[in-house]
């Protein structure tokens, strides 16, 4: 499985960092975690064929993770791709909102009758098991103790690799998925903006992973990581836009 970090910023784009979207590819099929802008442009830039993309998993409805969804809907219609994308929304309001947006444009006919998008509402547990990818949604408490539906996603491949994406977490990281301390992961991709790096290190020190990649952060978080000279019990790197990693 190969990951490409399309956007690594936090709630707003920063110089050199677009908002959050991670692409991963397994056996020729493509998938996305989140749809931060300018995703449609980046798909074109990277030369990824629309028909190779199978599914998208949205962690929560905040704009920095979803702003490109109307453009995606329009782009699927424009490219007249043969197959559909499965898109998993954490909240049915997201489906209704995108549906209204696309209807207002009169060119996609709305999401619910647009065969190019199969919308789903994410619920805890296994939500997807196709193309050698099994995706499990884990509820998190990003805002107001879970008032806003938000999820971490665990990806397991048919060749035995396991990757965890935290999505956005609560301001004290109390919702960092417990499974990361109980089971081994080949890779964990964690946000690092809602808790200071030195405090996050306390929470993350028992995580059982081969590598931790921090994404969804700003330059000031990177600076704090360096200032505190934080040591983890495993290798860690800070992703920048365009960063690629092979889970082998
Ligand atoms: Zn965010
Ligand atoms: Zn958020």
In angstroms, how far is CA 97 from the centroid of its own chain?
Answer: 20
**Nearby residues for ligand 1 (ion, Cβ within 5 Å):** 64, 168
Q: What is the pLDDT of residue 161?
A: 98
Residue listed under structure tokens 């499990």: 136
Cα separation, 98 vs 110, in Å, equals 8
Q: What is the pLDDT of residue 224?
A: 86
Ligand nearest to the CA of 150: 2
Ligand nearest to the CA of 65: 1
CA 173 / ligand 2 centre spacing (Å)? 13
Ligand nearest to the CA of 9: 1
- Please state the domain count of the chain: 1
CA 56 / ligand 1 centre spacing (Å)? 16
Q: What is the pLDDT of residue 175?
A: 96
Residue 223's contacts (CB-CB under 8 Å, 6 or more residues apart) are: none
Q: What is the pLDDT of residue 108?
A: 61
CA 145 / ligand 2 centre spacing (Å)? 13
Q: Which long-range contacts (CB under 8 A, 24 or more apart) does 143-149 make?
A: 143/60, 143/170, 145/170, 146/175, 148/60, 148/61, 148/62, 148/91, 149/60, 149/61, 149/90, 149/91, 149/122
CA 143 / ligand 2 centre spacing (Å)? 8
Question: Among 118, 125, 126, 63, which residue's Cα sits nearest to residue 95?
Answer: 118
Q: pLDDT tens track of the chain, all 248 residues? A: 999 999 999 999 999 999 999 999 999 999 999 999 999 999 999 999 998 999 999 999 999 999 999 999 988 888 776 688 999 999 999 999 999 998 888 766 677 767 889 999 999 999 999 999 999 999 999 998 889 999 999 999 999 999 999 999 999 999 999 999 999 999 999 999 999 888 998 999 889 999 999 999 988 888 888 888 888 889 999 999 999 999 99
Which CATH number belongs to the domain containing residue 175 in this structure?
A: 3.60.15.10
Q: What is the pLDDT of residue 49?
A: 92
CA 10 / ligand 2 centre spacing (Å)? 8
User: In which domain, by residue range, is 22 found?
Assistant: 2-246
CA 142 / ligand 2 centre spacing (Å)? 7
CA 81 / ligand 1 centre spacing (Å)? 29
**What dihedral do alpha carbons 163, 183, 221, 140 form, nearest 10°?**
80
């Amino acid at each position: 499985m190969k990951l490409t970090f399309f956007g690594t910023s936090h709630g707003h784009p920063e110089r050199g960092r677009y908002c959050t979207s991670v692409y991963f590819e397994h056996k020729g099929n493509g998938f996305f975690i989140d749809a931060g802008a300018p995703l449609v442009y980046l798909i074109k830039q990277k030369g990824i064929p629309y028909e190779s993309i199978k599914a998208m998993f949205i962690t929560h409805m905040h704009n920095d993770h979803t702003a490109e969804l109307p453009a995606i809907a329009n782009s699927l219609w424009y490219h007249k791709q043969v197959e559909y994308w499965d898109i998993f929304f954490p909240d049915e309001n997201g489906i209704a909102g995108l549906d209204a947006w696309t209807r207002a444009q009169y060119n996609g006919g709305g999401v619910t009758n647009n065969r190019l998008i199969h919308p789903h509402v994410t619920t805890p547990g296994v939500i997807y098991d196709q193309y050698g990818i099994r995706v499990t949604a884990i509820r998190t408490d990003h805002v107001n103790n879970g008032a806003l539906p938000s999820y971490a996603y665990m990806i397991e491949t048919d060749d035995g690799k396991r990757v965890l994406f935290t999505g956005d977490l609560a301001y004290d990281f109390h919702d960092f998925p417990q499974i990361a301390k109980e089971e081994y992961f080949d890779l964990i991709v964690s946000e690092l903006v809602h808790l200071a790096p030195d405090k996050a290190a306390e929470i993350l020190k028992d995580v059982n992973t081969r590598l931790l990649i921090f994404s969804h952060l700003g330059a000031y978080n990177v600076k704090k990581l360096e200032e505190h000279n934080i040591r983890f019990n495993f290798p860690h790197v800070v992703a920048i836009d365009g960063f690629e990693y092979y889970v082998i």
